[in-house]
Amino acid sequence: MAKPKKTPRPKAETPKGFKDYFGAEVAERKAMLDAILEVYHRYGFDPLESSAVETLDALGKYLPDVDRPNEGVFAWQEDDAAAWLALRYDLTAPLARVFAQHRNDLPTPYRRYAMGPVWRNEKPGPGRFRQFYQCDADTVGTASVAADAEICMMLADALEAVGIDRGDYVIRLNNRKVLNGVLEVAGIAEESHTERGIVLRAVDKFDRLGADGVRALLGEGRMDESGDYTKGAGLSDRQTELILRFLGAAELSFEDRWAELRSLVDGSSIGAEGVTELRRIIELVRAQDYGEDRIVMDPSVVRGLGYYTGPVYEAELTFEIPDDKGRPRQFGSVAGGGRYDDLVKRFTGQAVPATGISIGVDRLLAALRAKGRTGGASQGPVVVTVMDRDRMADYQQMAATLRNAGIRAEVYLGNPKNFGNQLKYADKRQSPVAIIQGSDEAERGVVQIKDLVLGAEIAETASVEEWKERKQQFEAPLDDLVAKVREILDR
Give the pLDDT confidence of 266-294 residue by residue, as tens digits: 999 999 999 999 999 999 999 999 999 99
SS3 label, residue 17:
coil
Reported as half-sphere exposure (CB side, CA atoms, 13 A), residue 365 has a value of 22
Q: Is residue 389, in this structure, part of any structural domain at all?
A: yes
Q: Which residue from 357, 313, 338, 354 is spatially nearest to 97, judged by alpha carbons?
A: 354
d(CA 173, CA 147): 14
- With a cut of 50, say whether residue 110 has pLDDT above it: yes
d(CA 480, CA 378): 26
d(CA 425, CA 412): 8
Q: Is residue 475, in this structure, part of any structural domain at all?
A: yes
Q: Is residue 441, in this structure, part of any structural domain at all?
A: yes
Average pLDDT over residues 11-21: 91
- With a cut of 70, say whether residue 295 has pLDDT above it: yes
> Among 97-106, 374-383, 431-440, which is the least confidently predicted range?
374-383
Burial (CB count <10 Å: 0-12, 13-18, 19+), residue 196: middle
Angle of helix 269-287 versus helix 146-162 axis, rounded to 10: 50
Provide the domain count of the chain.
Answer: 1
Q: Is residue 265, in this structure, part of any structural domain at all?
A: no
CATH of the domain at 389: 3.40.50.800
Average pLDDT over residues 308-315: 93
Q: Is residue 323, in this structure, part of any structural domain at all?
A: no
* Single-letter residue type at 82: A
Q: What is the chain's mean pLDDT, rounded?
A: 88
3-state secondary structure 293-343: CCEEECCCCCCCCCCCCCEEEEEEEEEEEECCCCCEEEEEEEEEEEECCCC
d(CA 152, CA 394): 56
Answer for the pair 140, 354: CB distance below 8 angstroms, yes or no: yes
Q: Is residue 45, in this structure, part of any structural domain at all?
A: no
Q: Is residue 95, in this structure, part of any structural domain at all?
A: no
Answer for the pair 285, 154: CB distance below 8 angstroms, yes or no: no
Answer for the pair 83, 99: CB distance below 8 angstroms, yes or no: no
- With a cut of 80, say whether residue 194 has pLDDT above it: no
Q: What is the pLDDT of residue 66?
A: 44
Q: What is the pLDDT of residue 306?
A: 63
Beta carbons within 10 angstroms of residue 209's beta carbon: 16
What's the predicted TM-score (pTM) here?
0.83
Provide the residue range defining the domain that includes 460.
382-490
Q: Is residue 424, in this structure, part of any structural domain at all?
A: yes
Answer for the pair 441, 475: CB distance below 8 angstroms, yes or no: yes
